[in-house]
Amino acid sequence: GAVVSQHPSRVICKSGTSVKIECRSLDFQATTMFWYRQFPKQSLMLMATSNEGSKATYEQGVEKDKFLINHASLTLSTLTVTSAHPEDSSFYICSGEGSNQPQHFGDGTRLSIL
Amino acid sequence: QKEVEQNSGPLSVPEGAIASLNCTYSDRVSQSFFWYRQYSGKSPELIMSIYSNGDKEDGRFTAQLNKASQYVSLLIRDSQPSDSATYLCAVQIPSGSARQLTFGSGTQLTVLP
C-alpha cells in the first residue's frame, strides 16, 4: 500500500525556535498533501492543503506566516512552524493523495514547546 | 450542525462480539467515505473506503453506506482486543482541485477480553 514517511517523530524545543517537519510519499506521487493538527482527545483539524508547485491553501484561522508550507516536488512537502510557542504544542500529521489513491497518513510529529 | 458526526463513545464490546460504529454527514454532495483507525499516540490508518450505496466487506470489516439517509457505518465482526482504538469517519467533498477530508470526532472502541 501507499506509504507516507514523516520526520521527525518527536520534537522538544524551547519557545521561539523554528521547527521543520518533512513529509515524503515513498511509493506514489502525491499531487496533493494535507497538513493536520490534532490536540489531545480531539479529531484531526485540517491546517492547509498544498499542491505541488503552487502556494498552499490555508484553513480559516491558520496563520500562513507562522506555518510555512513548501511542496516543491511530488514526493516532498515540508511544514515549518516559525517561532514556536507552547500553544503550538500538538500532534502534527501530514497526508498524501495521488491519482486514484485515498489519503494516506504519515506517522505524525509530536511537537512539544517548552 | 457538525458536518460529520459520530458517537464519541466510549463503546465497549466483549471479545468475539460485533462492534457497530455509526457516522452521519450533512453535505449531500459528499462522494467518498472512509473509516480510519487511530491508536493512541499514532496517526490514522485507513481501514475501509466506500463510494456507493450498499455494503463493502473486507475481512472482519464491513462498511455500509446509505446516501439517502446520509449515513455510513462500520461493523467489526469477531472483535479482538487489538481492535481497541479510536475510529474516525471521514467524508470527502470534491471542491475544485482539492479533495479535502472532513473528519468526525471519532468513536473510542474498547474490546474487552
pLDDT above 80 (res A31): yes
Distance of CA B25 to the CA centre of its chain: 11
- C-alpha cell at position B42: 499514532
pLDDT above 60 (res B96): no
Write out chain A residues lying below 8 Å of B32, CB-based: 102
pLDDT in tens, B20-59: 999 999 988 888 999 999 998 899 999 999 999 999 999 9
pLDDT in tens, B60-80: 999 999 999 999 999 999 999
Bridge-based pairing state of the strands B32-38 and B45-50: antiparallel
Using a 10 angstrom Cβ sphere, with 0-12 exposed, 13-18 middle and 19 or more buried, the burial of residue B7 is: middle
Q: Which of B42, B45, B106 sits opposite A43 (nearest CB)?
A: B106
Query: SS3 string of chain B?
Result: CCCEEECCCCEEEECCCCEEEEEEECCCCCCEEEEEEECCCCCCEEEEEECCCEEEEECCEEEEEECCCCEEEEEECCCCHHHCEEEEEEEEEEECCEEEEEECCCEEEEEEC
Cα–Cα distance for residue pair A107/A88, rounded to 1 Å: 18
* A43 close contact with B: CB closer than 8 A: yes
Instruction: Please give, rounded to a whole number of angstroms, the shortest distance from the CA of B102 to a CA of chain A.
Output: 8
**Residue tagged 511542496 (cell numbers):** A71
CB contact under 8 A, B100 and A46: yes
> How distant, in Å, are the alpha carbons of A64, A76, B38, B47, B51 from that of A30?
21, 8, 22, 20, 21
Write out chain B residues lying below 8 Å of A34, CB-based: 100-101
- C-alpha cell at position A34: 494535507
Q: Which of A42, A51, A103 sits opposite B101 (nearest CB)?
A: A103
pLDDT above 70 (res A1): no
Cα–Cα distance for residue pair B19/B113, rounded to 1 Å: 14
CB contact under 8 A, A51 and B43: no
